[in-house]
Amino acid sequence: MVSEGEFILKNPVWCPGCGHYAVLTALRRAVVKANLKPEEIVLVTGIGCSSRFTDFFRSYGFHGVHGRALPAAIGIKMANPRLKVIVASGDGDTYAIGMSHFIHAARRNIGITHIVMNNQVYGLTKGQYSPTSVRGFISSTSPKGNLEKPIDGVLLALSAGATYIARGFSGNLDQLIRLIEGGLRHKGYALIDVLSPCVTFNKLNTYEWFKRNILDIEQINHNPSNRLEAFKMILTSSKILIGLIYQSTEETFEDLMMSSIGGVPIDANISLGENNYENLIKEITSI
Amino acid sequence: MFFQLYRRQYNFSLDRKVYSLGILTFLTMGLDLFITIGGRAGDGSFLIGDILAKVFRFIGYDVLTYRDFPSNIRGLPTYYSVRASDKPIYAVKDFIDYLVTFELEAVEYFKRSYSENTVIIYDNSIKDIKDLDVKNYGVPFKRMSISSLGSELFKNTIALGVLTYILGIDEKHVLNILMETFMKMRKDILDKNIKAYRIGREYAIGNIEGREVAIKTIGRGGRLLLNGNEAIALGAIIAGCRFYAGYPITPATEIMELLIMHMPKYQGIAVQAEDEIAAINMIIGASYAGLRAMTATSGPGFSLMTESLSLAGMIEVPIVIVYVQRVGPSTGIATKMEQADTLQALFSGHGEFPRIVLTPGTVEEAFYMTTEAFNLAERIQCPVIVLIDQFIAQNRETVNTLDLSRVRIERGKLITSEVIGDYRRYEITDDGISPRTIPPVKGGIYLANSNEHDEKGYTAENPWIREAMVNKRLRKLEVAKKTLKELFPYKIYGYKDARIAFIGYGSVHGVILEVIERLNSKEPKAKYLQLMYLWPFPSEEINEFIHNTDKIYVIEHNAQGQVSELVKWTTGVGISKILKYDGRAFRPIDVLRVVENG
């Protein structure tokens, strides 16, 4: 059994009170519970406070460019589906610059555990509004209040065909560990959108605000395997739902890929002597 | 407008006066035919163009094809030219020998390309052309197709029957290729095409007096007919590329289609990404995980990729990008050739990092250089760009049998088994290249970090680490320089001591070869340096090459002379630019005219 300590590279440094501390702790405990080893995990991040994860979490790591953590993770997963690929990103990375990759990852149902630390503000660039900021939110780029409606990543994921959709809260560590562990054990794309307060730049959506405005879906009678029910819950609830909102079993991209190519790409023998290329040359040249 | 047409006619007669003698000499040297098939997209001119090319290849000739077509599926003019010769050919010919056309506007379009040897065979179903001062035959292709086969769809195969009769090509060779082409389709389509071919042939026997030429089988079969996109797709698979991600874009799409079709047979995966940004990040991810990975694109797509080109440079992940240039800026002309993205390929991307830019000049070179691109990417751990353009990508030419014994797979400092001890992915080494592990290798954990990082990949902003890392990465350029010199020792064509020097790369390679051959036919006066790679820039080679020359021409398909400026920058001497940017290939005469006018 691997211990939590094996996943500690460095002690994290964020603003004191940042929600991300709890998410990092939850991830470390979830990988232990899911029985994973540091070498078989690739943690992929983009840019933002959330993407500091790769500097603190010990495993193979890939810290790419803003908004593109998912396509890099998809390339890794397709190359070697045996790896456990985790993406840690923020609301800007996922729902603004990287939005299309998020939708396409969901509809591909590729086996990636995607943790979105959603603090409804851009922290690393010091406090601009984000696509999940509420209307009227005051920030350095919305001094008179944000004019745009916020994006609901959970609702989008549900529409796009994601097969594991959960929302956690940094103020509820035990549930967050469970939700991430569930995502790690899930076959296919798993979204865990985490309400992770930014104590420095978001004075509206604070821990106290969340405590008043969230509803734990697991405390009420909800069947997460019913997609229509999940839509209904999200659209009719006056509160922000947390917990496992939807989960289904569907073929994953990597399963379909492996059956179509007859194996795992990383296992392919590429040495010249082991391959018969004569037929290939014939096929391509007989136009 | 009228004035322009007039001027064009004037130029055309000028061409004839000055160069007709040269052409005659050319023809008497052996068989060298340039046949253009014209029509509107949907007329099937590409199909019979390909069939004709295959027939010529089969009976032993060197073949080079040239497609001039719009970015459109049906209705606009498309032209497919086939050059066939019993000696090696490298470029399009100055003048058309046979123009077969289903549309009368082609007759006007090609006015500047007629010589006294030109023969036009046009569809006179609608009307005859009067007063044409070029030898011509009107043949009712469309009418015959409708009356005998119930649809105009077969007029192209009828035209093939007429043309191959006039050329005196043995019927059995044409039938062979027709069978091979239509066998994959429904039986009645094959039958109707055979019938159409016979109708054309019978018509020619009855209505066209005598044969123009009698093309003999010269028995040099066994060679391949291939275009650059096909050569690159083949090269990638054979080099062990097992991951491809891309987004459709003319003129590079065929590479993706071929790889999606064939890579699975070798346990590889080729996918269509949601955009080019996703595509390049996917290949970076796949390469990080240990696969040889590639994408292919054109100007607009490459522009989207440039942010992540820097990422690959920073995290030292090997990738191969095939960059098929087309006419720009912006959407430009998607189906035409240009070399105006050369500087973008060389310099795009923020920050300083090593890259390699290879510039094959023929289809055959595109194959071998693609296989080598994967070795270079892994050995130097940097992005490698294979830079071609629409001309090489989409025009087929005869290629000698590909020699797989010339292909090697060298993966550089790749570690695939457990690492004992303190592993540092970005270890500062003498050559700048560090040992590279892939997940899940035990003991090999590291962070591929787009932030400046220390030897283990973890974020570092110390001035001394920053400087050491920049130096380490840039040292790899010196290795690249040395390796490229060994792999592609530069060749001088023509006479070593010639006073007129030509420099070119990519799709102008062929035309310069023909130009210097013609310039040197009387006295040795020209030489040519083909640039096989543009980055690291081959300054030493160029300086050595231009030593003791009177005149240096750099030939490019762009408007500003992008590489000309680089040559000027590296040599400090005056350079004459010969440029063409109308989207069409240089003919040898276009270059000769400039040279002969001094």
Task: Name the residue with tokens 């490019």.
Answer: B556
Report the chain B residue with the minimal C-alpha distance to residue A79: B286
Q: Nearest Cβ partner of A78 from B243, B278, B407?
A: B243
Class of domain B492-596 (CATH, top level):
alpha beta
Confidence (pLDDT) at B210: 61
Of B226, B269, B295, which to mutate for an interface test with A (greatest number of A Cβ within 10 Å)? B269
Confidence (pLDDT) at A1: 75
Report whether B587 contacts B94 (CB < 8 A): yes
Tally of residues, chain A: 287
Confidence (pLDDT) at B15: 32
CA–CA dist B20, A187 (Å, integer)? 72
What is B518-564 written as a DSSP string? HHTTTS--EEEEE-SEEES--HHHHHHHHTT-SEEEEEESSSS-HHH
Per run of 10 residues, the mean pLDDT along chain A (length 287 residues) is 93 97 98 98 97 97 98 98 98 97 98 98 95 96 97 98 98 98 98 97 96 95 95 96 98 97 97 91 81
Whether residue A60 lies within 8 A of chain B, CB to CB, comes out as yes
- Output DSSP code: residue B217: P
Kindly report the nearest CA distance between residue A237 and chain B, in angstroms: 33
Domains delineated in chain A: 4-285 (3.40.50.970)
CA–CA dist A54, A57 (Å, integer)? 5
Report whether A258 contacts A110 (CB < 8 A): no
Confidence (pLDDT) at B131: 84
CATH of the structural domain B2-221, one choice from 3.30.465.10, 3.30.70.360, 3.40.630.30, 3.40.920.10: 3.40.920.10
- Contacts (Cβ under 8 Å, ≥6 apart) of B93: B32, B34, B83, B587, B588
Confidence (pLDDT) at A181: 98
Task: Name the residue type at position B195.
Answer: K
Which residues on B lie below 8 Å from A267 (Cβ)?
267
Whether residue A97 lies within 8 A of chain B, CB to CB, comes out as no
Q: What percentage of chain B carries pLDDT values higher than 90?
A: 84
Q: Nearest Cβ partner of A42 from B315, B439, B450?
A: B439
- What's the gap between Cα B558 and its chain centre? 16
Q: Do B267 and A277 touch (CB under 8 A)?
A: no
**Low-confidence residues of chain B, pLDDT below 50?**
1-29
Asked if B225-402 and B492-596 have one fold, the answer is yes
Candidates B425, B456, B417, B427; CA nearest to A54 is B456
Q: Nearest Cβ partner of A280 from B237, B284, B315?
A: B237
Report whether A61 contacts A9 (CB < 8 A): no
CA–CA dist B585, B295 (Å, integer)? 26
Helix, strand, coil fractions of chain B, as percent rounded to 5: 45, 20, 35
Q: Do A63 and B450 touch (CB under 8 A)?
A: yes
Q: What percentage of chain A carries pLDDT values higher than 90?
A: 95
Kindly report the nearest CA distance between residue A74 and chain B, in angstroms: 6
Confidence (pLDDT) at B221: 67
- Output Rg (C-alpha) for chain B, integer angstroms: 26
Report whether B449 contacts B435 (CB < 8 A): no
CA–CA dist B365, B385 (Å, integer)? 14
Task: Name the residue type at position B36.
Answer: T
Q: Do A268 and B226 touch (CB under 8 A)?
A: no
Q: Nearest Cβ partner of A63 from B230, B307, B449?
A: B449
Candidates B39, B250, B233, B63; CA nearest to B142 is B39
CA–CA dist B53, B51 (Å, integer)? 5
What is the number of other CB atoms lying within 10 angstroms of the CB of residue B351? Answer: 11
Which residues on A lie below 8 Å from B264 (Cβ)?
260-262
Confidence (pLDDT) at B71: 79
Q: Locate the domains of chain B by residue range.
A: 2-221, 225-402, 492-596
Confidence (pLDDT) at B414: 98
Q: What is the CATH number of domain B225-402?
A: 3.40.50.970
Q: CB contacts < 8 Å between A and B, how many?
A: 191
Whether residue A174 lies within 8 A of chain B, CB to CB, comes out as no
Condensed to tens digits (0 to 9), the pLDDT of residues B450-460 reads 999 999 999 99
Confidence (pLDDT) at B211: 64
Q: Do A74 and B407 touch (CB under 8 A)?
A: no
Of B46, B52, B255, B281, which to mutate for an interface test with A (greatest number of A Cβ within 10 Å)? B281
Whether residue B51 lies within 8 A of chain A, CB to CB, comes out as no
Condensed to tens digits (0 to 9), the pLDDT of residues B49-88 reads 999 999 999 999 999 999 988 877 777 889 999 999 998 9
Confidence (pLDDT) at B212: 62
| DSSP H helices in B150-215 | 155-166, 171-182, 187-207
